[in-house]
Each structure stands twice: as structure tokens, then as C-alpha cells.
Chains A and B, each alone.
Chain A
Amino acid sequence: SSLLPKTVLWILDCINSECPLCLPGLILFFYFVLYLFLAGMFSFCMYMMLLTLSPYTPTHRDRVSPPGVMIRPYLHGFTIAFNVSEPSTWKPYVNSMHHFLQAYNNNVQEEKNIECQAGQYFIQDGAESKEKKACQFKRSQLHSCSGIEDPTFGYSTGQPCILLKMNRIIGYRPGYGTPVSVDCAIQKGNASALRSVDFYPGNGTFDLMYYPYYGKLTHVNYTSPLVAMHFTDVKKNDFVPIQCRLNGEGIVSDVNKDRFLGRITFTLSITM
């Protein structure tokens, strides 16, 4: 027993004690020690677990792919309703678009990102930790939906622009060599309600050069490529449900439970 450190002896003494005065304190002390130990063990385990993770790529990516789809403007739902003659009804959408497109301003893109060769994946070899270059996606590429010529993105004329964005997935190469394209259609009802949509850039495709994505840590200035949809002739004064889909190899857009996987549904309600 002489080999036991003094603290152990003291703890054993405490355990064996019957002194009633020190009891409440002893209980508190006991739980303090126990929880301290558990907290320590938990931290240690978490630390060990985090050590096994790569800071660049998640261990598993099976749940995040294939990609989902989102649109801008995004306020609080998927119904975009406004009255052309009342700017206050569409102003929030326009502001949201402007805010979103800040990162795509030509000068920002030119300053931070490089020009890449279109039509092929921009694969950057080398160490995983090396900082990756990002390709320029200039706001001007969105043409009439860039908000440069028409700062109201067509909302003031009843021809709203909507931006479509494919969710980022590390290492994902959409289309397997063929660019993924976007098309839109009336989801239910009369097809004539949606007579014409213009897509930018390049007829509504996501160029291969923006892929693959290398992750937040190394692909610092990466900006997701966008497809702008200019609804130039939509039935007015009515709710028009529109579904836009991604088309391309490896894209899944028919899962019942996930209505945002490879497709998105929103409603346009433009009042003149």
C-alpha cells in the first residue's frame, strides 16, 4: 500500500469514511470528479475522432450527392409574387438578387479568380492542402439578367429573372464530361402559361470548367456557376407553377421524397 500515491489513499479513506459532516461535500466532490473524468474522456474521444477526419474532404459524401438545386431570389419560400406597378412588392426580390450577385461582380472575379479554359474540367493536381484556383464567373455573363443594364432584373417589366444554382459537392463532376443544362416547364396545368424563357449563359448550361469543387478550405474564392432564367413571357395575374430541372448524366431529378434534388419548383405570380 505504500506504493499507492497519497491521493489514492486519500480517496480510499474518503470512500471508507463515515463522517457525516463531510458527506454532502463528498457527494458534490464525487460528482465533480466523475463528470470531470467523463468530460475529459468525451473530449479525448472527440479529439481522436476529429483527428481521423481530413480538413479538406469529408470522409463520406454519399448523402450530399447527387446535387440539389436552389434559386435566387430567395426570401422565405418558393412563391415569387409581385405587382409590377407597385415597386415595393418586387423591391425585396431585386435587393436579394443584387446582394447575391455582389460576389460575381466583374471586378471581384477578375481580381480574385483566373480565366479558365471552357469546356473541360479544371482539375488541379498537387498536394491536397495546396490552395486551389477558382474560375471566373462574371456577372456580365448573365446578360440581361446580370442587373447591370436593367437593375430591376426585369421585375419592373413583368419579365423577372431567376437564378438557378446547383449545390456544391466536393469532387463532384456533373455530367461526366457533358455540361449539365437546365430547362423549365409548367409543373401542372396549361403549358401555354409559360411561353418563353431565356437562359444565360450559354443556353443554360453549367460549364465544366467550374468543376470539380475542392472544398471551402483550399478553394477559397470559388463561386458557384449560375444559370439565369429570364421569364420573358409568363401568363400574368395568375399563379404559374414552374419546375426547372437539371439535365445531364448522373443527375437525379425524380426522387419523390426530395423535391429539390436535380429540380426545383416555384410559383410565379405576376400582377400587371
Chain B
Amino acid sequence: GLTSARAAEILARDGPNALTPPKSTPEIIKFLKQMVGGFSILLWVGAFLCWIAFGIQLAQGVSSAFDNLYLGVVLALVVILTGIFAYYQEAKSTNIMASFSKMIPQQALVIRDAEKKEVPAEQLVVGDVVEIKGGDRIPADIRLIFAQGCKVDNSSLTGESEPQSRSCDFTHENPLETKNIAFYSTTCLEAFLPGTATGMVINTGDHTIIGRIASLASGVGNEKTPIALEIEHFVHIVAGVAVSIGVLFFIIAVSMKYKVLDSIIFLIGIIVANVPEGLLATVTVSLSLTAKRMAKKNCLVKNLEAVETLGSTSIICSDKTGTLTQNRMTVAHLWFDNQIYSADTSEDQTTQSFDQSSQSWPALSKIVALCNRAEFKPGQGNLPIMKRVVVGDASETALLKFSEVVLGDVMDVRKRNRKLAEIPFNSTNKFQLSIHETEDPNDKRFLLVMKGAPERILERCSTIMINGEEKPLDEERAEAFQTAYMELGGLGERVLGFCHLYLPEDEFPDTYPFDTDSMNFPTSNLCFVGLLSMIDPPRSTVPDAVSKCRSAGIKVIMVTGDHPITAKAIAKSVGIISANSETVEDIAKRLNVPVEQVNKEDARAAVINGMELKDMTAEQLDEILINHSEIVFARTSPQQKLIIVEGCQRQDAVVAVTGDGVNDSPALKKADIGIAMGIAGSDAAKNAADMILLDDNFASIVTGVEEGRLIFDNLKKTIAYTLTKNIAELCPFLIYIIASIPLPIGTITILFIDLGTDIIPSVALAYEKAESDIMNRRPRHKKRDRLVNEQLAVYSYLQIGILQSIGAFLAYFTVYAEQGFLPYTLLGLRVNWENDYNNDIEDSYGQEWTRYQRTYLQWTGYTAFFVSITIQQVADLIIRKTRRNSLFQQGLFRNKVIWVGIFSQITIALILCYGLGSVTALNFTPLRVQYWFVAMPYAILIWVYDEIRKLFIRQYPGSWWDKNMYY
């Protein structure tokens, strides 16, 4: 090996043997981004205008100057606090990841200074000689210099789950294909490893194959999520309205001979009234609530916005192995007595219900149990059979579990039929053989059992067992075998043949020395007993999930490295290819014409081979994606996944991709939502993904889609709810400017609505149940179905918002009128009202008011206005529960959180009004109880009006009303 000194030298040159983590944005930049995103800029402008106004007013000695200072500080605080909140939320979801990437520092056994040493894998350098045992992760890219029966699992690299043998022989020019190179992060399998492997490190860290792929993944740009685009769109709308109304009224105010400073203060008010300060935080909370709910359903969301992306998904490109299937071979069919039997393949089987009465069955089951080297790991007696860990390869494991289910204790059966000799499976024989004593003490014959590739087994047989009796294997019976073999093979299953022979007692006495090398026993003229076929069966929940996807308008595309026949069989059994659809090849076969003559549009389904895909142009791929609704890509390399994803995205689809290997990470990054497998997934895949499926189950994706769609609907409701009161906050300013009445509601009070009473109710809408089966409609169109559409804005602003303003103004006028200022007196009163020196303003009754008495009355007006908005927001909250259904259909009490929201809203209002009414800085006063009820008729009107709206929408779908009033 290398000397320590030389190793240190190379280490200094090449750097540690670890992947450089993807460049992350510095925390401070992330934080600052939160400070300027969304509405923050508008609010900063408002805050700075406040401070400017404060400066000028202070210089002029205006007594209310400090109000502007405070308001500016409050606005800045609002921005900073919501920024901190958003930053915290983001950091929290990043932390979920941290737990995943926490890796146990890996050790490697390296020969240095001619001694074996354990060093951390990070310190490996090129030229080091390392030893690997079974079960180890390969610590770097190594060239094997000594290997015996070494097999590696390259699934994390290539996605192929078949173990691949490794030796010292150079077999291929391509480093990925040659047998003498083992790759970083792949696993050396234990079961096939009698010896150890030794290799020389040829690449470390980022130079390894995995490192290169990882850097490819980080090169794929991160695009904005659909919900981020929607929120941006919404922010643009609101900011546009705020700025244009603000500027318009600034101009109006200036041309009405208001002082510029006053006009600036109006502008601030209009901005504050227009911006829903609490909304973005509410959206974040709603999304994280859904993320939590999804985590409970095994979808761990890394990026909050991905919650909704999943809901708008229109194409899911799913892996087969492990996602759609159970990721374990299971006996699916048996053939004996000229008949095919189906076995139970569900995840939790405890018995097998096929007909086991035939005389042939005991013979077959004995071969299955005996001719098998797999064993359960000890100490799992109380676990269900299907969950036990087995030492052995996939097929043998399947057979072992199968016989454990049908026979009971297999180990005991093997003990009773002691094994005398054995030839393990190898690729030249393609069979496995063992010789046993029989359990019957009177029967001194030995039993030779054999299993292997069916055609090879059949070659060695001269008889066949039918109903427990040996019959000659004539042509007719051989034909029957061929038919069964073809049929099972056509199902994509791996078929094994089983045969046996009772060795005659006279030729093979008790003491006969069986020698597996010279094969001093017969291996031909055996008796064929039956066939067993195995498959990695679909998860039982998947067919249902796929049909849900279909009714939800989501196209499920299977992308697998597996053989097309197996892929197609699984696709058919889970419904990705539905029972009555055909591929071009199927049609050709049915019509007996060449494939080229079939009209491609007749075929709904398509099975595309990776080799075909390699030669396709982008246009051809597009054509396939458009023309066929049921597509399976088989024998694809993980790199081709990226091509498929890009093809789907060209159709304007929102694409979800599942993946587990490192090679999948570019596709996961490229996809609108990358879904990594929590169990089988590699760290690189988890890093690149937006979501992690904790149970690797496709069905979990579908529940995620449902949640995603629900949150989109509910965010609509939340936004509609929040936008409504903005008009009720804005109108006072406009009327204040135009009609010169005392200010009906102050900016601070507005902030108390936006960030106080309205917060919990708007979050409560996130708990609203779906109005109809959301999985029965098509996914939303990325560009057409907006979160905030024209109807939503118009209905909230121009209808309910106006209604609310009117209700609040009624309360305002009532308060002033009952104190002596009748409505007509208020018109044009503003200048005198706000004059600090004028302390004897006359009201409608001839009474005279000091400045402070007026201010206090003004605050009472604020409070009344505030209370009225709150009361009407309760009605608004209730109507927003549904967009189409009547409240009575939806049920008033199904969503209990709404009532928590209403309760909180009213409690906060009560506390502000009566608890903090004496704190003058907050501008609240203890309000007479009757003023709480002034706006009540309008609250009821809001509810009745909305019920009528919904009634007409339901009655006249597609009508003018529906188009204009449904948001």
C-alpha cells in the first residue's frame, strides 16, 4: 500500500474523499430575501414615508408627529417579524432534511505502511489499497485486484436491482460496464461473499462517477413552484391595486389642495389598508399544516411549496420496483397436473388458498422446501412470515417464504430430510440440486431434488407427475408444459421448473458416498413435477391509487429499468395500462399485420423500450406522450428519465417523478416535484427531491395529491377571506380624502385587524374539508386556473368588500351621530377637526368640543369601525367555507377549527376594545355594547347574498352567473 506520508500528500492535493455538498445560499442572504420579498417592499416604502413625514412634522411642531414615527416602526416590525417567521419556517423544513443526511462516518480498511488500518473513508486517496467485506458500502471508486464471488448492488447508481458480479477481469472499455470496477456508494452484497475483495482506489470524492452525477444534478436549475408563481401573481395584483389607488388618490389629494405632506400620509394609509400584511404568513402556516398532515400519511415534504405542486401534478412518472411493487419476489403462479394455480401475492398473506388436494402437491412442495439454500435469520419466530429477514437471493427467499406459509416450519422439514449433498446454482448448469434422506424411516431411498430454468429441467426429465403418478413425458405433455411456460413467461414472471427422483435403494445404499464433483448420481431421466413462477407483485394499494389518479386526470407513466414484458405485466395488473387498451404491437398481433401498418392513434397504450427511446428525437417523444394515454418506458437508463421528464414538461404538464438512485437525482431536480423513496432512496436522491415517501408506496403519492388539491382550494378561500376586508379598510381613507370627514379607521387599527383578529380564522380555513370529490376533476391548468382569479378579486373587492364597508360606515356614523355629530355635519369637517388649536368645534347640537375630546371620539369611531369589520368578517369566514355548496350541505360544524377562529376573533376584539381600551397608543376605546350589533344586519346580508350566489351557481352551471360569480 501507500505510505502514510504519501497518502497525506495526495490527500492534500485531491482533497478529502467526500462529495462537496451542493452550494447553499448563505443564511443571511436567505434572511434578507425574506425581508424584501412579497409585500415587504411596499411596507418598507410605507415605513420610510412615515419616517419622512415624522421628520417634517417634527420640524413643524405638529403634535401628532410621533404617531407617524410609531407607525413607521410598527410597519418595519411587521416586515421584520413576518420575514423572521418565513425564514424560520423555511429553516424548519430544511432541518427535516438534516436528519436524513446525518450519516454515520464510514470506516475503510486500508493497507498503509504495509499494515491493515481502519481509517475514515474520507481520508482515502487515489492509490490506496482497500479491503471490502460483504455488506460494506464501497468507500470510493475502486479497481478490484482480488475478488472472489463478489457481487455488488449498483441500484443506487443505475437503478438496477439485480446484483452484479465483480471480478478482477477487464471486460469492457466502458468503465460503467467493466466488471473490475466497483463504484463509490454502491453496496457489496453479503450473501454471495465467501471471501473478501481487495481493490485499489482510482477515484475519490467529486471525481467518482457518483460525484459527477451529483454535480450534474446541482447543475439542473431549480424552477419556481406553481404555488410560488401563483402567490407572486397574487402579490402583483394586490400591489398593483395598492400602488395605483395610492398614486391616484395622491394626485387627487394634491389637486384638491391638500398639503403634499398630508397627501403622503394618505398614501401610507392606502398602502397599509391595501396590503394584507398577515396573509403570506397565513399561507405559510396553512402549507405547513398540510405538510404535517401529509407527513402523517408518509409524505415528508422538504419544500413547503411542494405541498401544492403535488396537487397540481398532471403526470406522475413512477418507478416500478418498490414504488408500484412490493420490492420482493413472491410466488405468483404454480403449474402442476396440467393446470395453472394462482397464489396469493398480497403483503400480509398467512395461508395459501389454491387447491392443494392433488397428489402431486406434496411432492412439489417438498422439492420447493428442500431444494433451497435460503434460511431465515434466527430469532424472528414471532414476526409474520412475510416480514422476516432471509439470508439468500430474491427467488430463494420467495420460495422459502412460500413453503413456510404452506408447509409450516421449513427448517424442521429440512431437518427431518437431512441433506447429504448439494450443487448450488451456477450460470453454466442453470440448475440447483440436492440429495436428501427421506423423513419416512421405512423408506431407505434417497430423494434427489432439482430446480432450475424450466427448459433445462425438462431436458433432464423422462417422466412427468400427473395426479401423483409418474407418467411418461410424451409430446402432448411436453406441449402442455410449453404452453404453461409461455403463458407464465408472458405474465412477466420468472419461471422455475422442479423435478425429483427417488434413488433406488439397491444402487444407492445408506453409506453411498455422494460426490458433487464427479456427480456419481443420475441427473437425467428425472420426474418433472411442476413449475413455479415468481414476480415482484404490485402493492395491493396501488391499483386503487392508479385508478384514483386516472379519475383525477393524472397520467401515470411507468419508467423502469426492467424488461418490457415484466413492465407491461405489472402495468396491466396495477391499471397503468387498462384492461382493454392495446399497444401498437398488440393491435398488429390481433390483426395479423406488420407493426408499421397499424394506425398509431388507435393504440391507447404504449410500451417504449429504452433502446427505441435512445434513437428518438424530441418531436417523436412528444408525439408518443401526446398520442398515448398509457405509457410504459422499459429498459430505460436513469439518464433517460431526465429526457422523459423534459418531454412531459414540454406539454405544459406539472410532472412528479419518483426515484431512488443517485442517477435519478437530475430527473428529480428537473421535475416539478421530485419524490424520493424514504426506504430505498439514496441520500443524493433525497437531497435532490422535494418530497420523500416514507413508505416508498405509490398510494401515498395519491393521498398527497389529494391534500395538495385541497390546500389549493382552501388557500383560495383564505385569500378571498383576507382580501374582502381590505376594501373595508381602504374605503375609509378614500372617503376621508374626498368628503373630508374625520378619519373612520386608523392605520394602527387596520394592522390590528390584519395581524390580529384575522390571522387565526384565515388559518382555520386550511382545515376546511373538500366540497366535492376533488379527485374527480382534472388537475388545474398551470396557466389558466389561477389561485387568485378575476372572479375572486372582483367578488371579494367589489361585492362583499363594499357590503362590509357600508356596514362599517353605518357603525361609524351611528357613533358620531349619537355623540352629537350628525352625518351632514361631518362632511367637510376634517380641517377644523384636526386643528390642534381649535378647541371649541361645534357639533350639530351646539355643544363645543376640545381637540382631545374629538380625538377620543375619533378613536371610538375607529373602534366601532374595527368591531363592525370583525363582526362582518365572522360572516365572511362562514361564507368562505364553501365556494359552490350551500353551507347546509357542507355542515356548519364539521370544521371545528373555524369556530376556534371565530372565537379567537371575537375574543381578540373584546380584549382590544375593553382590555386595552385605556392604552392610548393603540387608539382603542371601550365601546358601548350596542355598537357591536350595528353591522349585524350587514353580516346577515353577506351570508344571505352569498347563499343566493351559490344557489344560482348550482342551479345554472355554465351560465353567465356561474362564469362571473364562481371563483
Contacts and interface: CB of A to CB of B under 8 A. Distances in A.
Interface in B831-846: 837, 839-840, 842-846
Contact of A35 (B802, B846, B850): B802
A46 B799 contact: no
B818 A60 contact: yes
B960 interface: yes
Contacts of B853: 63-64, 68, 258, 261
Contacts of A257: 852, 920
B839 to A, nearest CB: 4
A28 interface: no
B900 interface: no
A46 B843 contact: no
Contact of B840 (A58, A60, A165, A255): A165
Nearest to B810: A45
Contacts of A213: 846-847
B852 A49 contact: no
Contact of B818 (A14, A53, A56, A261): A53
B837 A74 contact: yes
B833 to A, nearest CB: 14
B960 A18 contact: yes
B908 interface: no
Contacts of B847: 58, 61, 64, 167-170, 213, 215
B964 interface: yes
Contacts of B802: 35, 38
Contacts of A18: 958-960
B603 interface: no
B848 A16 contact: no
Contact of B849 (A15, A57, A64): A64
B920 to A, nearest CB: 7
B941 A41 contact: yes
From B822, B842, B845, name the one whose CB has the most chain A CB atoms within 10 angstroms. B845
B852 A261 contact: yes
B37 interface: no
B817 A49 contact: yes
B891 interface: no
A15 B952 contact: yes
Interface string A33-71: 011001001100110011001001111110110011110
A26 B810 contact: no
A162 to B, nearest CB: 15
Contact of A16 (B799, B941, B959): B959
A8 interface: no
Nearest to B945: A34
A91 interface: no
Nearest to B840: A70
Contacts of B820: 58, 61, 64
A122 interface: no
A76 interface: yes
5 contacts: A42-B806, A46-B813, A49-B817, A59-B817, A260-B852
Given A42-B810, A50-B817, A17 B959 contact: yes
B799 A34 contact: yes
Contact of B817 (A53, A68, A219): A53
B845 A57 contact: yes
Contact of A68 (B799, B803, B848): B848
A169 B823 CA distance: 20
A215 B852 CA distance: 22
A264 B851 CA distance: 12
A77 interface: yes
Q: How large is the interface on A (under 10, 10 to 19, 20 to 34, 35 or more residues)?
A: 35 or more
A63 B840 contact: no
Nearest to A30: B964
A45 B850 contact: no
Nearest to B960: A17
Nearest to A68: B850
Interface of A: 14-18, 23, 26-27, 30-31, 34-35, 38, 41-42, 45-46, 49-50, 53, 56-61, 63-64, 67-70, 74, 76-78, 165, 167-170, 213, 215-217, 219, 222, 255, 257-261, 264
Contacts of B798: 31
A167 B850 contact: yes
Nearest to A26: B960
B899 interface: no
Contacts of B823: 46, 50
A187 to B, nearest CB: 17
A53 B845 CA distance: 11
Contacts of A216: 842, 844-846
B814 interface: yes
B960 A70 contact: no
B937 interface: yes
B286 interface: no
A167 B840 contact: yes
B623 to A, nearest CB: 36
Contacts of B839: 68-70, 167, 260, 264
Contacts of A222: 846
A51 to B, nearest CB: 11
Contacts of A34: 799
B376 interface: no
A213 B845 CA distance: 10
A23 B960 contact: yes
B848 A70 contact: yes
Given A63-B857, A64-B820, A168 B848 contact: yes
Contacts of B848: 64, 67-68, 70, 167-169
B521 interface: no
Contact of A15 (B810, B941, B959): B959
A11 to B, nearest CB: 10
A16 B957 CA distance: 8
Contacts of A219: 846
Contacts of A64: 819-820, 843, 847-849, 853
Nearest to A264: B839
Given A34-B799, A257-B920, A217 B960 contact: no
B961 A16 contact: yes
A43 B394 CA distance: 82
Contacts of B810: 42, 45-46, 49
A267 B961 CA distance: 68
Given A45-B810, A68-B839, A170-B847, A38 B803 contact: yes
Given A16-B959, A17-B959, A64-B848, 12 more contacts: A35-B802, A41-B806, A41-B941, A42-B810, A58-B844, A61-B847, A68-B840, A167-B839, A167-B848, A170-B847, A217-B846, A258-B853
B956 interface: yes
Contacts of A58: 818-820, 843-845, 847
Contacts of A56: 845
A37 to B, nearest CB: 10
Interface in B416-444: none
B932 interface: no
B66 interface: no
B805 to A, nearest CB: 10
Contacts of A30: 964
A58 B857 CA distance: 14
A15 B848 CA distance: 54
A215 B845 CA distance: 5
B494 to A, nearest CB: 60
B796 to A, nearest CB: 14
Contacts of B752: none
Contacts of A35: 802
B860 A63 contact: yes
A14 B802 CA distance: 23
A157 to B, nearest CB: 27
Contacts of B813: 46, 49
A45 B941 CA distance: 13
B956 A68 contact: no
Contacts of B803: 38
Nearest to A258: B852
Contacts of A261: 850, 852-853
Nearest to A76: B837
Interface in B777-836: 798-799, 802-803, 806, 809-810, 813-814, 817-820, 822-823
